[in-house]
Amino acid sequence: MKIELKNICKTFNKQSNTINNLDMTINDGEFVALVGPSGCGKSTTMLMIAGIYKPTSGNLYFDGQLVNDLEPKDRNIGMVFQSYALYPHMTVLDNIAFPLKQQKVPKEERYERAKNAADMVHLGHLLDRKPSQLSGGQQQRVALARAIVKKPKVLLLDEPMSNLDARLKIEMREEISRIQKELGITAIMVTHDQEEAMTTADRVAIMKEGELIQYSSPMELYNRPKNYFVAQFIGNPPMNFLKSQLAVKDGKCQFYINDTTVDLNNHLPKIKSHNSIKDIYAGIRPYDLKLGQKGDITLDGVVSLVEPTGHSKMVNVKVGDDRIRFFADPLQKIERGSKITLTASISSIHLFDCESGENLTAETIGEGQDNKLVINS
């Protein structure tokens, strides 16, 4: 089912909009991840799609049909609530079978299907327990089974795996993806786990303070963050930022990192004034930094912390007044307090306006990568 949100606003109190002019389309069979800081309105958006909350203004369409006033029970939706919302007096089996009971599925078939759903989330052995006798992760899986048991048209998952261990998380993730693809369900998932969002979703929507900031494929989000907020939000560990200045003079652009002057060779379409100096953040992802001096730019710093992560080492480096992170080979000897030199290619650098947060490089780098940026130091 195709879901369209058109200019949706939601207000709980008169002072401010919790959701502000949200415009978003989720295509039929698409898997969308909804991410954003706590309190930005993710759950509110989900509850509006579910029909629990009515939008204060704006329209919601399912397959082109206006559904603002359609009751939740008529929307054919499966939902995992952030707080699970299991029925406390029912057993696990009855909880899972509840949506089927409402559809008047005959008893035998109902329990059969409920059992299958329970097996799928590895809860086959706990069918007779009450929710209060389950662990948090088990409760969450009951909620998951309950959401998918009726094979809904739309699946709304509000942090469905926040309480699971790493292995179970991956398993459940794959299971959800499989079911979603198999049945062609349109799914929206709220998550605080970026890896989860990036790996499962076709598209990722980033929200901030009730507004949609960027809505695009995971790769694009990673490679072309629209602004500073997205850049520092997406990626784990987060992007490194170095305070810097961008100078535009006679149509020529330069910026300075450390002692390096980087020449952008006229290509910065997002800058309007032709003679100016701007404060900017230069962003480099930890994975794009290497030890050595072979790249386009180099950074000198002092190691302040080394954290082994198993397959590599995460190293904290102090460069000037900024702290940056990068990954080093686990066999490499790096010691706290030692001086090192890092390098990166110019194409991996993102420039953000300090004031507006706008990504100043996005379009230039996005189009043809390296050939448009020439280093000249």
Ligand X SMILES: Nc1ncnc2c1ncn2[C@@H]1O[C@H](COP(=O)(O)OP(=O)(O)OP(=O)(O)O)[C@@H](O)[C@H]1O
Which residues here bind ligand X, judged by CB under 6 A? 12, 18, 36, 38-44, 82
Comparing every residue's Cβ against ligand X, the nearest one is: 43
Q: How far apart are CA 207 and CA 330, in angstroms?
A: 36
Q: How far apart are CA 147 and CA 222, in angstroms?
A: 30
Q: Which is nearer to ligand X, 39 or 136 (CB)?
A: 39
User: Which one of another protein, Mg ion, ligand X, none interacts with residue 77, CB within 5 to 8 A by kind?
Assistant: another protein
For residue 48 the two structure tokens come to 């509006």
Q: How far apart are CA 227 and CA 358, in angstroms?
A: 4
Residues that bind Mg ion (CB under 5 A): 43, 82
CA angle (296, 302, 305) in 5-degree steps: 115
Residue window 133-152: x/- pattern of binding to another protein, with contact defined by CB under 8 A: -------------x---x--
Residue 121 binds to another protein (criterion: CB under 8 A) = no
Comparing every residue's Cβ against Mg ion, the nearest one is: 43
With CB under 8 A as the contact rule, the residue among 54, 73, 243, 318 that binds another protein is 73
Residue 162 binds to another protein (criterion: CB under 8 A) = no
For residue 352 the two structure tokens come to 């953000």
Q: Which stretch binds another protein (CB under 8 A): 78-86, 189-197, 246-254, 284-292?
A: 78-86
Q: How far apart are CA 190 and CA 198, in angstroms?
A: 12
For residue 173 the two structure tokens come to 């993730």
Residue 244 pairs with which residues in a beta bridge?
280
Residue 102 binds to another protein (criterion: CB under 8 A) = yes
Q: Give min distance, CB of 234 to ligand X, in A.
A: 16
Q: Give min distance, CB of 377 to ligand X, in A.
A: 44
What is 27-79 written as a DSSP string?
A: -TT-EEEEE-STTSSHHHHHHHHHTSSPPSEEEEEETTEE-TT--GGGS-EEE
Residue 93 binds to another protein (criterion: CB under 8 A) = no
Q: Give min distance, CB of 118 to another protein, in A.
A: 16
Q: Which is nearer to another protein, 22 or 155 (CB)?
A: 155
CA angle (165, 169, 170) in 5-degree steps: 130
With CB under 8 A as the contact rule, the residue among 36, 78, 160, 283 that binds another protein is 78
User: Which one of Mg ion, another protein, ligand X, none interacts with residue 282, CB within 5 to 8 A by kind?
Assistant: none
Residue 83 binds to another protein (criterion: CB under 8 A) = yes
Q: How far apart are CA 193 and CA 32, in angstroms?
A: 14
* C-beta of residue 153 within 8 angstroms of C-beta of residue 185: yes
Q: Which is nearer to ligand X, 34 or 297 (CB)?
A: 34
Please classify residue 92 by burial: count the beta carbons closer than 10 Å to its beta carbon, then call 0-12 exposed, 13-18 middle and 19+ buried. Answer: buried
Q: Give min distance, CB of 333 to another protein, in A.
A: 53
- Interface with another protein (CB under 8 A): 47, 50-52, 71-73, 75-79, 81, 83, 85-90, 98-99, 102-103, 132, 146, 150
